[in-house]
Copies of this chain bind each other. A is one copy, B any other.
Amino acid sequence: MLGKCLENVKEKTPLIHNITNYVTVNDVANALLASGGSPIMSDEPDDVSDITSICGGLNINIGTLNKNSIEAMFISGKKSKELGHIVLLDPVGAGASKLRTETALKIMEEIKPHIIRGNVSEIKTLALGSGTTKGVDADAADVVTEENLDSMVEFAKTFSKKLGAVIAITGAIDLVADSERCYVIRNGSPIMSRITGTGCMLSGLSTAYAVANPDNITEAVAASVCLMGLAGEIGVSNMKDGEGNSSLRNHIIDAIYTMDAEKLIEGAKYEVR
């Protein structure tokens, strides 16, 4: 089914409205194009309702939120739900500031996104309703490990059930859960944390995968997480002597571009719990 998820993106070219941060926005756009999707960006309250209406899904990323873009997130989010579009929330830095935590919580309450994707610190902050995060990266103390895996899987399923949303927690081990199943994914490379934007790119991809596979959102999100992790592995393996994180960024997006169903199926490392 992962392969079918990928092929549906390439066939349907889902148009994704991204309200996202200006740090990694170019990489999000190129990652979406690499996957076979199509990106559009708009964060002006007077513009976003029309833009959302012509798209198939909405990716809300609060990485460099401001008063104007927050207003746009709510307008687009409500319009998307009204139209039956997929909405994903990426709560970048939830726990790192009051504004981020409160904005993410309010989006959860008022928009009820179909998918929430973040690192473990961010997701825990949302589950607890408060928290402290070390910047935009997960706290070292907050990591999914083989030791705490059972309880983290349970946490993800319970949180998913409470919200009625697919929960994607990404890190060294990735979890993609609905209320009944949790994909435990072991693709990726630690070096991916040395480039900015792998999480943001993944949120764009997850939105596109869900939009192109509306009947299997959990699996579609899991497929996008496997894709990103596998692209990271391929990217790292393509690094030549003297190359660093800038080349790695290019290799990863290139690997998304050249991925096909067969490679994804062969390279995906996951189990369902």
A residues at B contact (CB < 8 Å): 15, 21-27, 29-30, 33-34, 38-44, 46-47, 50-51, 54-55, 63-68, 93, 96-100, 132-137, 194-197, 234, 238, 242-247, 249-258
Copy tally for this chain in the complex stands at 3
* Given contact pairs A244-B255, A256-B244, A66 touches B50 in the complex (Cβ within 8 A): no
Taking the closest CB of chain B, its distance from the CB of A208, in whole angstroms, is: 13
Known interface pairs A43-B66, A44-B67, A51-B135; 10 further A-B residue pairs with C-beta atoms within 8 A, sorted by A's residue number: A15-B135, A30-B195, A38-B135, A50-B100, A51-B96, A54-B135, A55-B135, A234-B242, A246-B254, A246-B257
Asked if A23 and B27 sit within 8 Å, CB to CB, the answer is: no
The 8 closest A-B pairs by CB, nearest first: A244-B257, A50-B97, A246-B253, A244-B254, A29-B196, A44-B66, A246-B250, A22-B22
Query: For residue A250, which residues in chain B have a CB less than 8 angstroms away from its CB?
Result: 246-247, 250
Q: Within the complex, what minimum Cβ distance (angstroms) separates A119 from chain B? A: 13
B29 & A26 in contact (Cβ 8 Å cutoff)? no
Q: A245-B257, A246-B253 are in contact. Are A97 and B42 (CB under 8 A)?
A: yes
The reply to whether A21 and B38 contact each other, CB–CB distance below 8 Å, is no
- The answer to whether B242 touches A238, judged by C-beta atoms less than 8 angstroms apart, is yes
A38-B99 contact given A25-B23, A247-B250, CB 8 Å threshold: no
A247 to chain B, nearest CB (A): 5
Chain B CB within 10 Å, residue with most, of A65, A99, A252: A99
Q: Give the distance to chain B from A92, nearest Cβ to Cβ, in Å.
A: 10
Interface centre among A15, A66, A258 (most CB of B within 10 A): A66
Known A135-B15, A247-B254; contact A46-B67, beta-carbon cutoff 8 A: yes
Whether B50 contacts A99 by the Cβ 8 Å rule is yes
Point out the residues of chain B lying under 8 angstroms from A251, CB to CB.
Answer: 246
A34 to chain B, nearest CB (A): 5
Which residues from B are CB-within-8-Å of A47?
65-66, 97, 99-100
Return 24 A-B CB contacts under 8 Å, by A number: A23-B26, A23-B41, A26-B196, A30-B195, A30-B196, A33-B195, A34-B244, A34-B245, A40-B96, A43-B64, A44-B66, A44-B67, A47-B66, A47-B97, A50-B100, A51-B135, A66-B68, A242-B255, A242-B258, A245-B253, A246-B253, A247-B250, A247-B254, A250-B250
Question: For A257, what are the chain B residues with a Cβ–Cβ distance below 8 Å?
Answer: 194, 244-246
A40 cross-chain contacts in B, Cβ below 8 A: 93, 96, 135-136
- Return A131 CB to nearest CB of chain B, in Å: 12
